[in-house]
Amino acid sequence: MKTQFTKLTLLTGMALTAAVSQANAQVTVGVDPTQDWIGYMNVFDLPTAGGGYEFGSVWGTTDLQANFSPGILTLAPCVNVWETSDTYWVQADGVSPNKTMDASMYVQNDALAGDTVMFDGSALLNTLQAPYTDVAFIKDFTPNYGASTSVTAQLIPGQGFSLTLATTAGDHIQYGFETIGPDANPATVAGLGIVEIATVPEPTTLALIGLGSVAMLAARRRQ
């Protein structure tokens, strides 16, 4: 009986350890354009006006000035609200922005909750001019979105970034990019800079790469 009890205890402990390991797996995510990317804009008063929070809402990613092209995600200052006749967005002089735009371009995947999430990528270009900033992030929101924990990384041109966050089961998990700065004039936005992020190959591209590798290997064997 003692031996059987010891074996049962050992097996139970191993099962619990395996369950905990599985629930706290490390999962790596990247900048995959095939994922469901979401745009969200938070609007604030300018720092000179107190910097108070105005509102937040879901936006289309292109309205954020976040766009995918082959192999690249481009992020730029927001020009979507520029209207010289509306002093909420543009000051009375007609040339000065009147709000700070906090644009988040992200994937929300709550299936990652409870795992250690690693977000990897590479910044190809970052020419944003002050006061504009852009960071990569992972955010873990409580179930009611009332609180969050997060990690961020600067986007340095020509360098990779890697963030890791141990998330909590049952929470909401987001990863992506946050661009912050005043609303911009479409006529002069080109001088404010952009960020370019390398995207991971889409599944079809990976499949073609794999087929190409198999073909090359087969050819070498025939030689």
Residue (of 76, 77, 41, 81) closest to 58 by Cα position: 41
User: Residue 77 sits in which domain range?
Assistant: 26-222
- Residue 210 has φ and ψ, to the nearest 5°, of -65, -45
Residue 20 pLDDT > 70: no
Nearest to 114 by CA among 210, 219, 25, 221: 25
Query: Has residue 69 been placed in a domain?
Result: yes
Handedness of CA 7, 9, 12, 17 (dihedral sign): negative
Mean pLDDT of 166-188: 98
pTM exceeds 0.75, yes or no: yes
3-state SS assignment for residue 190: helix
* Residue 79 belongs to some domain of the structure: yes
Those residues with Cβ within 8 angstroms of residue 83's Cβ, 6 or more apart along the chain or in another chain: 89, 90
Q: Is the pLDDT of residue 21 over 60?
A: no
Residue 173 has pLDDT above 80, yes or no: yes
- For residue 147, is it within any domain? yes
Q: Which of 16-25, 62-71, 185-194, 206-215 has the lowest mean pLDDT?
A: 206-215
**Does residue 1 register a pLDDT over 90?**
no
Q: So what's the pLDDT on residue 153?
A: 98
- Whichever domain contains 159, its CATH number is 2.60.120
Per-residue pLDDT reduced to its tens digit, 49-59 = 999 999 999 99
Contacts of 172 (CB under 8 A, 6+ apart): 108, 110, 113, 140, 141, 142, 143, 145
Q: Report the C-alpha gap between 184 and 172 in whole angstroms.
A: 31
pLDDT reading at 146 higher than 80: yes
- What pLDDT is attached to residue 16? 46
Average pLDDT over residues 144-157: 98
- Measure the CA angle with vertex 102, ends 91 and 194; round to 5°: 90
Report if residue 12 sits inside a domain: no
- Determine how many CB atoms are found less than 10 A away from the CB of residue 62: 11
pLDDT for the residue 149 = 98
Give the total number of structural domains in the chain: 1
Q: Tell me, yes or no, whether 11 lies in a domain.
A: no
What is the pLDDT, as a whole number, of residue 207? 42
- Does 13 have pLDDT greater than 60? no
Output the average pLDDT for the chain.
Answer: 87
87 found inside a domain: yes
pLDDT digits (tens, 9 = 90+) for 191-219: 999 999 999 975 544 444 344 444 444 44
Q: What would the two tokens of residue 190 be?
A: 């080109």
In a domain, 18, yes or no: no
Report pLDDT for 201: 78
User: pLDDT (tens digit, 9 = 90+) per residue, 83-129?
Assistant: 999 999 999 999 999 999 999 999 999 999 999 999 999 999 999 99
Which residues make beta-bridge pairs with 162? 120
> Is position 17 within any domain?
no
DSSP 85-123: T-TTTB-TTSSSB-EEEEEEEEEE-GGGTTSEEEEEEEE
Q: What is the per-residue pLDDT for 23? A: 54
